[in-house]
Amino acid sequence: MELTKVHVPAREGRAVRVAAGQLVRVSTPEGAQVSDFFAFCAADTTEHLSAAHTRGHTSRLFPRLGEAFVTDRRRPILTLVDDTSPGRHDMLIAACDPARYELLGYEGWHASCAENLRSVMRELGVGVTTVPQPVNFFMDIPVTLQDVIEWRSSPAAPDAAVTLQAEMDCLVAVSACPQDLVDINGMRPGPLEIEILDK
């Protein structure tokens, strides 16, 4: 049963509240759109999903189906329960931010996942100072045996989706990555959809 559906316009962010046991589904309607994904504990938003702790917890660069993302206090916050994409997701790269676009040579203001996060969390009454490392769904960043990180265009087909089950009450923020100077979104940032469902 679908409870909430939130459209995330291209280059923007949205945040939702998810209760323990509910499912949160993130999809790319047009395909090939990277979703920067953040999660904070509702009871204490200083505790948040941590990429570094999750890598240690799973001994993998990215959780497999059935495995959990954990917080910086090593508590499971969301479990990956379904994935209709090719399964290429990233947990190595920081959210894009104004400094990233400046270093890429862009002049003037450019939307960014870091600013999107701060903006949507502020609407929920949460001030974000240090931006946690995001989970980047649909972002294809393979690592070679020489430890080189490659940047590839997302292989996610239209309507590809990941589904996570909340292990605790949490606040989830999703940013439709506005990166259009490095080809991770097919150079054409698109929208995302968030759905909250009961199990």
Size of the chain in residues: 199
Residue placing its CB nearer to a copy of itself in the complex, 11 or 40: 40
What residues line the site for a copy of itself (CB under 8 A)?
A: 46, 50-53, 55-56, 59-62, 72-75, 92-94, 97, 99-100, 103, 129-131, 133, 143, 145, 147-151
Q: Which is nearer to a copy of itself, 58 or 84 (CB)?
A: 58
Least spacing, CB of residue 113 vs a copy of itself, in Å: 12
DSSP state of 113: H
In angstroms, give the least distance from the CB of 38 to a copy of itself: 13
172 close to 15: Cβ distance less than 8 angstroms? yes
Pick the closest to residue 57 from 42, 41, 77, 39 (CA basis). 77
Task: Say which residues have a Cβ less than 8 Å from residue 146's Cβ, sequence separation at least 6.
Answer: none
Minimum Å gap between C-beta 56 and a copy of itself is 5
Q: C-beta of 9: minimal distance to a copy of itself in Å?
A: 25
Nearer to a copy of itself, 17 or 55 (CB): 55
Measured over the CA atoms of residue 159, residue 6, residue 195 and residue 120, the dihedral's sign is positive
Nearer to a copy of itself, 4 or 46 (CB): 46
Q: How many Cα atoms are found within 13 Å in the side-chain-facing hemisphere of 193?
A: 17
